[in-house]
Amino acid sequence: MGMKPKILVVEDDPASGRMLRALFQSEGCEVALAMTGGQALELAEVTPGPDAVFLDLGLPDLPGMKVLETLKKERNELPVIILSGDTEIPSAVQAIQLGATNYFIKPINTGQILAALRQILERKALLDQVQDLKQRLDGLARVMGPGRTVQGLQEKLKQVAASNLTVLLHGETGAGKEVLARAVHDFSPRSDKPFIALDCGAIPENLLESELFGHEKGAFSGAERKKEGQFQLAQGGTLFLDEIANLPLGLQAKLLRVLQERELRPLGSSRGVALDVRFVAASNHDLEKDVEAGRFRQDLFFRLAEFRIGVPPLRERLEDLPYLAQRFLEEAGVELRRPVRQISPRALESLSAHAWTGNVRELRNIVRQAVLLSSGSTLEADDFEVFLKKAAPRARPAQAALSAGLSLGQAGQAGLAQAEREAIRAALSESRGNILKASRALKTDNKTLHGRLKKYGIRARDFEPGD
């Protein structure tokens, strides 16, 4: 049985204070009563602190607004419900601006007070439920799921984490490569040092070298002050280079030198800096093919791939899907304040039948959207239908051409346009709506890609991750 919720009542009228204490105790709460602002602030500092405060603004020693401001400054997430005899609108507006959860006018309406209390307790229960869920599973299992595949990954990561080998992760976008990179760091002796993640495809090429290596003041036009690069910021810890294939060939050579010599030279500096960093790199496609095509240095590939780990897509470990879906549901329920508790068996069957080309990231976004639009306590298959249809694969161009009765020439043109359209959509999906990164993946320039987006009515923002 969990601890009783703790409520702090701040009320200088003894009769009102006793009434509120009895009311909250009838709801199973532990209640502390303060008659002054000073007492309230002292009781709020006791560990563990209150789960909610019901605050009368008319206190004998301190302005109620000052007490509210202090409480929120110490614990911004603390729910504070104002009880006031002041019927003026500016007072209520000020309280809300300072972070009050609710503002009730005296005389006290017990129905409203109980409704506010129950809403707070429900939110606390959901937060506790999420916390329990996080503590129930260890390591990767808590984040990725309890299936055998994840258990195998966790054992492999624990083995390599103790070494200083460079790790190369390969897998589809959204499969969890950064999660694994963080796990390598967390399992390693460097866990108390920085973990720095850098997306090599999200930074313009002309800024990437400075971002990695840092620069001295005056190293180039606009370098008004010295700046440490990501290598230096990760000193003693782990640097995760995501989408390493987007690194230009010139920088690949410089990265290779850093890996070999464990020393870097910031732009504009004549002195080298000794480097103690663990490197983890990741790519969402086959780097060996890039090596064969001359897009990636073979010597750098071998240096990065001292230990390789494949990250399986969600469709290859569907045993984790029910756990992940429930985890995302509970997190979204708390964040979005929705009373959703579970996903029906039929809905889980529907989710398991989906292709999940966007992997875990796609699952999380769809569950969050379904929770946002649902008002019931259980998500049914119908709640997911519209989102799964939007994400469903399109018909193949050949099938569409036959259905439309096109000529051979028309079918060819339609097929090329469809292939181009799908390539653009795939690149935007992988880059999460980042046009610069998508244009690089498609081996084209931003201007051309913008023209194609306009031609096909594709919006890059539709591929950005949901809130």
The token pair at 338 is 């929705």
273 sits in which H/E element: strand 273-274
Partners of 105 in beta bridges: 84
The token pair at 357 is 């080309």
The token pair at 181 is 């990179």
Residue 282 gets which letter from DSSP? E
Q: How far apart are CA 63 and CA 440, in angstroms?
A: 59
- Residue 81 confidence (pLDDT): 95
Amino acid present at 353: A
Residue pLDDT, tens place only, 159-177: 898 899 999 999 998 899 9
DSSP assignment of 390-410: HHSPPPPHHHHHHHHT--HHH
Residue pLDDT, tens place only, 8-47: 999 999 999 999 999 999 999 999 999 999 999 999 988 7
Domains identified in the chain and CATH numbers: 6-135 (3.40.50.2300), 162-312 (3.40.50.300), 315-391 (1.10.8.60), 397-463 (1.10.10)
The pair phi, psi for residue 232, each rounded to 5°, is -70, -35
Q: Which residues of the chain have pLDDT under 70?
A: 1-2, 129-139, 218-223, 390-418, 456-457, 462, 465-467
Global pTM? 0.55
Torsion of CA 443, 449, 451, 457, to 10 degrees: 130
3-class SS shares of the chain: helix, strand, coil, % to 5? 55, 15, 35
Partners of 228 in beta bridges: 214
Residue 234 gets which letter from DSSP? T
Q: How far apart are CA 297 and CA 250, in angstroms?
A: 10
- Sheet with 6-10: list strands edge to edge: 30-34, 6-10, 52-56, 80-84, 102-105
- Residue 380 confidence (pLDDT): 93
Q: How far apart are CA 456 and CA 404, in angstroms?
A: 19
Q: How far apart are CA 303 and CA 280, in angstroms?
A: 11
- Residue 401 confidence (pLDDT): 47
Amino acid present at 43: L
- Residue 394 confidence (pLDDT): 42
| Spatial contact of 20 and 109, defined as CB atoms under 8 Å apart | no
- Residue 344 confidence (pLDDT): 92
